[in-house]
Structure 1
Amino acid sequence: MTKGKVETGNISDVTRVYLITGFLGSGKTTLLNRIIEKFPKDQKLTLLVNEFGEIGVDGTLVEGDDIDMMEISKGSIFCVCVKTDFIKGLYELNTTVKPDVLLIESTGVANPSDLKKDLKLPIFNDRFDFREQFCLVDAAHFADAYEVYASLEKQIASSSVFIINKTDTASLEKIEETKKIIARFHPAPLFFETTFADIPLERFLELDGGKETLAASLKDSSSGKPKLSDTELDQFLDDLLDSPDLEITPPDMLMSVGYRWNGNDITEIEKIANDLPASVVRAKGFVEDESGMHIFNYVMGDWTIEITDIPRNRIQHKNILVFIGPPDSMAGIETASESGSWESLGVFQPYSEES
């Protein structure tokens, strides 16, 4: 778990929690940035960004200065592989940071069904008030991914607001097919059809910093209650992980692999993108040539390479691409890399016994 600038400052009694979920490449970080842009300056916002792979990219894409942020990689925060990091992060927010709002961006293969139960654990002293779960849906690729990955069904079943994103890349028939699939799980789903995750956020978030919210922050429910020692917190987590109700088996078996690019011709990026096996669901990263810094985005066969204005000092993993796919795609990714200046950084499987 890595941390950005996490401050204490003004203390709130209740932390309103919003979850942003959706499959890999659906636009979750874009929605996150829209919320950051409109968030009231007089309220404290904390982000918890969860990435599937060992090398994180999404945290770099979060816009805004002085953002309070925790990053958890190497698996889903809702599965046993990083459950400990997630609960410890929430406990720090409960006892030290105490923000007004917590935005959680989950990994694209997460099963978020247990989030509400996690937020009500007794060590949090009723701090977290779960408000809304946004499910981002890639209009062009959702129907195909739904047939293969069980996590999409879990995300749909536990969500309440569905953002059909990237509608400019999909036909009307594809969009209607996507809505029909979602409607199987909800009698009256709330849909927004849009591009760049542009929805009326004021319908769901208290963006005016209203008096009711400020008044609620005057009392601190956890004040006077002793903070658990590290040993006590570890014991609580050990007992939690031993619970028979804990979900241990992940919904989808996916792996990630990182490759360092040692070339200087951007056409090598284009070639590997075209040569990837069809089973690769996601790839992303920053690459630099003499023309500048580029961001590479790949979602189920569709990809872009675009110049980015993100400052170089914010990019921790330059010239490294992360590829995500099922185990049988790893050999095909390696083959695709053989035609360019690529160096494997190793395969990461968050649900294996070795991880």
Structure 2
Amino acid sequence: MAGTTNVILVTGFLGCGKTTFLNRIIKIFPKDLKLMILMNEFGEIGLDGTLIESDELDILEISKGSIFCVCVKTDFIRSLNQIAQSIRPDVLIVESTGVANPSDLKKDLNLTIFQNRFRLSEQICLIDADCFEDAYETFVSVEKQIASSTLFIINKTDLATEQKVLRIKDIVKKYHPLPEFFETTYADVPLERFIPGIEKIETMAQDTRVSILPEQLEQAIDKLLENPDPNSVPPDRLLSAIFSWGGKDIEAFKKIMPQLPKQMVRAKGFLTQNNTVFLFNLVMGQKNIEAYTSKKDLRPLLNRIVFIGPPEAIHQMDKLSRDFPDLIRKSVFDPMANR
């Protein structure tokens, strides 16, 4: 029976390139090791899982808030228990939502119910070189991600000046005296830096750890929720809204793009025109839309767009939808309402 699962935490603010980074790791990951990804998305529906380029990989998705927030902490602990008891991968990559505060991950992994099955081996933070400074000044979660990470990938350097990259490094050095940096585009880094350090735990003749009972799991979760971290910081105030697109012409949607609220932090969705699928992306004011192909079944997600932003930005979307009847709000999710 397999022993300890090595855990890699991948953080970074919304739109920094985490999914691209994961796809690069998946392509070169050793075939004799079992890899699993636990993806955490902020909104009600998960889009990033469909962007993972593998049909064979085990993926668990947790939506509706940050896994490090009380609002979905229960789902996170239950997922970890499932992984520890049933799946038992050699390596678990936890990709947290871009607004997560990951400071208590090590504490969660070391809960007694997991019987030392997890070992946190690396905490990687991806940084959007173009948008980082604005995000750092605005969102508390960015500071927490920097403070809790051990390795930093400065991504999208083609969109930033050398002076901006130096400023980013100076900010990180406030929290780490000797940080390790990689500068790149499209999350293209020497992945051997991460993989060789992950040693496969030898199969043991006998594993003395036993499966916990359902009531033991529930008792552990209740105790955890009764005693939250007194040093935790309230999450950034962001909402997630799902809008449907009823237009048949992508050019019509492109006319809306310049009018989207400037405060909108992130947006992503799949749109269709005839038989072609287009992927729309917005990151801190930067927008693009391009043709997209996938082997996965995207039908449940077609013509649905997830917008993430402060309440005022979501309210502005409601006003915008009145001017463009093909853009219809379907739902709004507020993770703070579940705290």
Same structural fold, with TM-score higher than 0.5 when normalized by the shorter chain? yes
Check whether the contact 2:247–2:253 (CA below 8 A) recurs between aligned residues.
no
2:318 is aligned with what amino acid? E
Corresponding position of 2:27: 37
Check whether the contact 1:13–1:220 (CA below 8 A) recurs between aligned residues.
no
Corresponding position of 1:184: 174
1:216-242: CA deviation from partner (whole Å, max 9, x where unpaired):
331177x34442222221121011110
* Structure 1 unmatched ranges of 5 or more: 1-10
Corresponding position of 1:273: 257
> Aligned partners of 2:251 and 2:289: how far apart in 1?
10
> Aligned partners of 1:48 and 1:312: how far apart in 2?
18
Shift of 1:56: 1.0
Report the CA distance shift for 1:69/1:219 in structure 2 as closer, same or farther (over 3 A): same
Do structure 1's residue 307 and structure 2's residue 291 form an aligned pair? yes
1:283 is aligned with what amino acid? A
> Aligned partners of 2:205 and 2:78: how far apart in 1?
20
Shift of 1:46: 0.6
- Structure 1 range deviating more: 127-136 or 266-275: 266-275
Secondary structure, aligned partner of 1:251: coil
Corresponding position of 1:333: 317
Corresponding position of 2:78: 88
Question: In structure 1, which of residues 211, 217, 238 is the aligned counterpart of residue 202 of structure 2?
Answer: 217
Check whether the contact 1:79–1:248 (CA below 8 A) recurs between aligned residues.
no
Q: In the TM superposition, what are the counterparts of 1:1-355 in structure 2 within 5 Å?
A: 11-206=1-196, 213=200, 216-219=201-204, 223-245=207-229, 250-290=234-274, 292-311=276-295, 313-340=297-324, 341-353=326-338
Shift of 1:175: 1.5
Q: CA RMSD in A?
A: 1.8
Report the CA distance shift for 1:260/1:179 in structure 2 as closer, same or farther (over 3 A): same
Secondary structure, aligned partner of 1:81: helix
Identical positions, percent: 50
* Number of matched pairs: 338
1:132-184: CA deviation from partner (whole Å, max 9, x where unpaired):
11101001000011111000000000111111101111122221221111111
Secondary structure, aligned partner of 2:301: coil
1:344 is aligned with what amino acid? R
1:301 is aligned with what amino acid? G
- Structure 1 range deviating more: 269-278 or 67-76: 269-278
> Aligned partners of 1:52 and 1:205: how far apart in 2?
28
Check whether the contact 2:66–2:99 (CA below 8 A) recurs between aligned residues.
yes
2:246 is aligned with what amino acid? N
1:74 is aligned with what amino acid? K
Corresponding position of 1:5: none
Report the CA distance shift for 1:143/1:179 in structure 2 as closer, same or farther (over 3 A): same
> Aligned partners of 2:150 and 2:232: how far apart in 1?
25
Report the CA distance shift for 1:225/1:188 in structure 2 as closer, same or farther (over 3 A): closer
Normalising by structure 1, what TM-score? 0.91
Shift of 1:294: 0.6
Which portions of structure 1, spanning 4 or more consecutive aligned residues, are displaced by more than 6 angstroms? none
* Structure 2 unmatched ranges of 5 or more: none
> Aligned partners of 1:232 and 1:248: how far apart in 2?
26
